[in-house]
Structure 1
């Protein structure tokens, strides 16, 4: 493993950095420093650049013109200047290599990792090269690749899936501590109940932080380590104000979590400087908690005058609407099925909401709720986005998302039956301060077979031409579904 020496600076000094004091070891794929020693790699592989002259080469074959591929690196450790480049080459008949594509910095995240989404112009042998930029480029990274346009992101369980998403979005917190890559908060919600998390994606995005899950007895070691990692730059270099939000009461997120948080060195240091708050947003019920979350977002980043009204037990609809909510800065408010909850009605008044979208069919949000909203806002300012199933509702929400500016050529695919992995995906859509993200809809699928609504969406809008993510392990979204999803690109014309 790599051992780093971390030098922390006071605010206003030159910053902090991680400098390797023990050399990064060669990875198991060496020697792969040239095209002649390039390796055939599995879909996920772990690599190091163990010196500033080290490069890594991969070899693969293409059997048909138009075959799509996606390649993505994810930095997992590195020195202060760890910055990757990625190049794609075609082997010509005379043995020479022709560069066909390259990547310099990830376009989704504030990261010096890379991704290439590419269609083969002809069959043949191809090579992928990953190299560092300039002197001193030593570090570790993961390479993901597949035919198609999507790759899976998942942990061993629901808690570690949230951690893996955080690591993807905030890769540079391993390295560039003094270049402005920092968050202003973290949002923690229950991993056992989805109600409070439905509104939490927008809050996490508004503080440029992840949405992480707590277990019934507290935070996992992996979650605590991730909180430590992502807060480190803000605490030790920037000294910027931080807030850790806990959503729900102690039944949902136990009080032990607050004790665990205070024991994290970065949290303790910032609390000592009175530069961090731990704020629990907990109402008398899920409806009041959602309203409190909306108010917190308004105070942190501001909100639009539009709200999404979701049934308090309809987690699947809440997952789908997370994308337009996060993208537009429009809060998710929860309601009872039979009538508009008083807490949502009060929030609409307090927040100056003038437009409302009811999400889901009348089985989850009745026509009486819609009537209550019409009485408050007028018929012209109330609409319903729904379908005959949770998958069809997600399709309707995705179409709405495209109408307001989300990209139809990229998306996040989650299980329609497994809420924990799905709910933590919302911050991936957009990060407010950084202005980064996938910028695409969140769509639902059956765990074992790709939903027809996803296929229909692609047929309507054309094949994706950018990187998409499938969130969750194989029990949430099977490899069969991932393969079916990736195969859509070859079968649907642009």
Structure 2
């Protein structure tokens, strides 16, 4: 049992990156996003993990010391700032030049355009070749389903092209996201979450683009995270994070992708019954559980409770 914690969300972000077994240093890329809002980080998780780099959090106007130290350690070949100047000041972008010779910003009119642009910068599809294998779609208005969804993007079927996690509104598919989906020509589209999160109208629209479009949902966010884990596959290691607070989990997506490990959501003060049932099955017992966040995110009692589900 391991807990990755820190004095604040920025220290947790740096500590999660420090825990990742990167294939080599320097890392190819680091995505830098706001730690004060979740949408840009949700878009960054899948692309960062696919490229083998972390998602690191900053404030609007400063680079926290813990993030500076981690950037110095990993020496990213390039840094991508995700989000506009309202999220991260130009002064922060300039300061990031001290840690990489290549610093670029991806910004858009809103979180949906940023999501599409982040995907377009990573996932290449030849005009006459096959499209990506699986494209995941999550809410841009609610964070829980996307927190668990990022590691699923690594579970590409053999020989197929990986795909992104894109954001959508609940009631309609943004035009920029639709255009990116059409460019990627996915073999299947998977909506993360129930109809209260992403409507059946959006699902119907997706089926006009790709008939093999369906949703993964559950009775709640905890149930949904278990359902999503089936696309990640079995792993000796699992990540657990709060389903009621996003900051500590924002950097966890790349860790899950690189480690091919699922991210499960828990209540801060109790292990959800559905997750307890899932982990109690012998075939699902992990050898290692990594909790993301401090005791206010996942209580010591819950940490102790998870120990009972470790494989012998």
TM-score calculated relative to the size of structure 2 = 0.91
> 1:367 and 1:214, CA in 2 relative to 1: closer, same or farther beyond 3 A?
same
Give the distance between the partners of 2:111 and 2:169, measured in 1 at CA. Answer: 10
Question: Paired residue for 1:392?
Answer: 223
1:488 Cα deviation after fit: 2.5
Q: Specify the alignment match of 1:309 in structure 2.
A: 137
Structure 1 or 2: more strand by fraction: 1
Q: Which residue number in structure 2 is paired with residue 350 of structure 1? A: 183
Alpha-carbon distance, 1:181 to partner:
3.4
**Distance in 2 separating the partners of 1:215 and 1:303:** 37
The answer for unaligned runs of 5 or more in structure 2 is: 157-161
Match of 2:153 among 325, 350, 363: 325
Q: Secondary structure at the match of 1:393?
A: helix
Aligned mates of 2:248, 2:50 — CA distance in 1: 20
* Residue aligned with 2:79, SS: strand
Is the Cα–Cα contact under 8 Å of residues 410 and 464 in structure 1 kept in the other structure? no
- Corresponding position: 1:370 with 2:203: yes
Query: 1:79 maps to which residue?
Result: none
Report deviation, 1:464.
Answer: 2.3
Q: Pick the structure with greater CA Rg.
A: 1
- State how far apart, in whole Å, the 1-side matches of 2:124 and 2:105 are: 15
Which residue of 1 is the match for residue 94 of structure 2?
Answer: 259
Aligned partner (choices 237, 241, 244) of residue 417 of structure 1: 244
Q: Say which SS state the counterpart of residue 485 (structure 1) adopts.
A: helix
CA RMSD of aligned residues (A): 2.2
After superposition, what is the alpha-carbon deviation per residue over 1:380-427, rounded to whole angstroms, capped at 9, x for unaligned? x111100121111111111233xxxx2254311010011011121011
CA contact (8 A) 2:278 2:284 kept: no
Relative to structure 1, the CA distance from residue 201 to residue 209 in structure 2 (aligned partners, 3 Å threshold; closer, same or farther) is same
Residue aligned with 1:429, SS: helix
In 2, distance between residues paired with 1:171 and 1:375?
Answer: 39
Deviation at 1:339, TM superposition (A): 1.6
Q: Which structure has greater helix proportion?
A: 2
TM-score of the superposed pair, with normalisation by structure 1: 0.58
CA distance in 2, matches of 1:291, 1:211: 17
1:382 equivalent among 213, 221, 225? 213
Task: Name stretches of at least 5 consecutive residues in structure 1 with no aligned partner.
Answer: 1-149, 173-179, 235-241, 272-276, 432-436
Shift of 1:461: 5.1
CA–CA separation in structure 2 for the residues paired with 1:243 and 1:189: 14
Q: Does 1:298 align with 2:123?
A: yes
1:288 equivalent in structure 2: 113
Contact in 1 for aligned 2:123/2:163 (Cα 8 Å): no
4+ long deviations beyond 3 Å? 326-329, 460-463
